[in-house]
Amino acid sequence: TKLINCLIHFYKRDFVMSGTYYFVIVGHNDNPLFEVEFSSSGREVRKDDHRHLNQFIAHAALDLVDEHMLRTPNMYLKIVDKFNEWFVSAFVTASRQRFIMLHDLKNEDGIKSFFSEMYETYIKQVMNPFYSINTPIKSVHFEKKAQFYGRKFLTG
Amino acid sequence: MSRPGSRLTDTKKVSGELFSLTYGALVAQIVKDYQSVEDVNKQLEKMGYNVGVRIIEDFLARTKEGKCADFRETAEKVQAAFKLYLNMSPTVTSWSAASDQFSLVFEANPIAEFVELPDNYADLQYSNILCGAIRGALEMVHIEVAAWFAQDNLKGDSVTELRVKFIRKVEDTVPAGDD
């Protein structure tokens, strides 16, 4: 944890701390299928800077997500973990694909709506005969939808 | 799914989504089996041909109309068949000067409803089965045609356009064999 705290400190310096979101869809093999970041600061979020840390936090939360998943019939699991200033919210689909959201503002309604819309988008993606489940999603259409809903429900 | 009294003959309707998914799984499998996209296109066309030579009997039995006087009537029949079997309503347009070519224009293509073509399959004619079916069906009524897609929603075009060209009347009886 000392190492992690050092990393956090390092990132905090140039990290705008309000309204930043990191969304990842995690497959059955704990592999990321889709990742995207949103920031309401308007500043371009440099993906590489924080991507590794975000992946780490999301991965660490998976066990908790799996535990919560078994305890509730709901797909939306709300906040399942907290890591320093990061909240981890989760949403589990009918086929046990895990949607993870790292965020530093609560915004429960926005996140819930975002999850729901991305779930619809994910269902359409799965219906594509050329897409294999549990593989990375490379569809331009899917990315556009994620950007659209991110602006609509998360960053505004 | 099926409304009572809407069809005179007893048909068991199947959900459109199930059909689209089944066709999609079929295409995906053929794509895995064959190396080149061209081969896949040929296979889909062949399959369509085999569907067409059989479905024409069913179509003629249901519609009970006589021979077509000219190619324009043929076009109308093909249009009716799309409505009957796939619940699709293409418009017949773009007649050539000699009235030997026409286009069926579809606003949307329900069998390709959820499909996004991956980059390496950009030349795939996903709905080629329809071209084959038209060719097979018309061959059974002694009309040889060529059918192909001039535009495709899946490739970024605004509509899907299936072009049909009259080649010749087939005078000899065509043996109904499988290719």
pLDDT of residue B28: 93
Task: Give the pLDDT confidence of B6-37 residue by residue, as tens digits.
Answer: 444 556 777 888 999 999 999 999 999 998 99
pLDDT of residue A17: 46
Angle at A71 between CA A69 and CA A77, to 5 degrees: 45
Query: Per-residue confidence at B5, pLDDT binned at 50, 70, 90?
Result: very low
Q: A130 and B121: CB-CB below 8 Å?
A: yes
- Average pLDDT of chain B is 88
Nearest chain B alpha carbon to A140: B116
pLDDT of residue A2: 64
Selected for mutation to probe chain B from A121, A126, A127 (highest B CB count within 10 Å) is: A127
Chain B residues inside the 8 Å CB shell of A124: 114
Please check the confidence at residue B95 and state whether its pLDDT lies above 60. Answer: yes
Chain B residues inside the 8 Å CB shell of A145: none
Per-residue tens of pLDDT for chain A, all 156 residues = 666 666 666 555 444 445 789 999 999 999 999 999 988 765 555 556 678 888 888 888 999 999 999 999 999 999 998 888 889 999 999 999 999 999 988 889 999 999 999 999 999 999 999 999 999 999 999 999 999 999 999 887
Average pLDDT over residues B90-97: 92
pTM of the model: 0.79
Question: CA–CA separation, B53 vs B49, rounded Å?
Answer: 6
Task: Give the pLDDT confidence of B103-127 residue by residue, as tens digits.
Answer: 999 988 988 988 999 888 989 999 9
Question: CA–CA separation, A156 vs A21, rounded Å?
Answer: 12
Chain B nearest C-alpha distance from A147 (Å): 19
pLDDT of residue A12: 52
Query: Which stretch of DSSP H or E encloses residue A16?
Result: none
Identify the CA nearest to B44 among candidates B164, B122, B128, B149. B128
pLDDT of residue A44: 55
For B90, counting Cβ atoms within 10 Å of its Cβ (0-12 exposed, 13-18 middle, 19+ buried), the class is: buried
Contacts of A82 (CB under 8 A, 6+ apart): A88
Of B42-51, B130-139, B163-172, the least confident:
B163-172
Chain A nearest C-alpha distance from B121 (Å): 10
CA atoms within 13 A on the CB side of B72: 7
Query: Per-residue confidence at B102, pLDDT binned at 50, 70, 90?
Result: very high
Q: A127 and B114: CB-CB below 8 Å?
A: yes
pLDDT of residue A45: 55
Across A54-152, the runs of DSSP E, i.e. the strands, are 76-83, 86-92, 98-103
Q: A127 and B21: CB-CB below 8 Å?
A: yes
Structure-block tokens of residue A29: 């093999």
Nearest chain B alpha carbon to A124: B114
Of A124, A129, A139, the CB nearest to B28: A129
Selected for mutation to probe chain B from A120, A121, A124, A128 (highest B CB count within 10 Å) is: A128
Task: Give the pLDDT confidence of A79-123 residue by residue, as tens digits.
Answer: 998 888 889 999 999 999 999 999 988 889 999 999 999 999 999
**What sign for the dihedral angle of Cα A114, A118, A119, A120?**
positive
Nearest chain A alpha carbon to B27: A129
Chain A nearest C-alpha distance from B114 (Å): 5
Query: Per-residue confidence at B136, pLDDT binned at 50, 70, 90?
Result: very high
pLDDT of residue A15: 46
Across the strands, what pairs with B161? B105, B151
pLDDT of residue B174: 56
ipTM: 0.77
In chain B, which residues touch A (CB < 8 A)?
17, 20-21, 24-25, 27-28, 31, 113-118, 121
pLDDT of residue B9: 52
Q: What are the Cα distances from residue A46, in Å, to A33, A72, A105, A140, A146?
A: 20, 36, 19, 20, 17
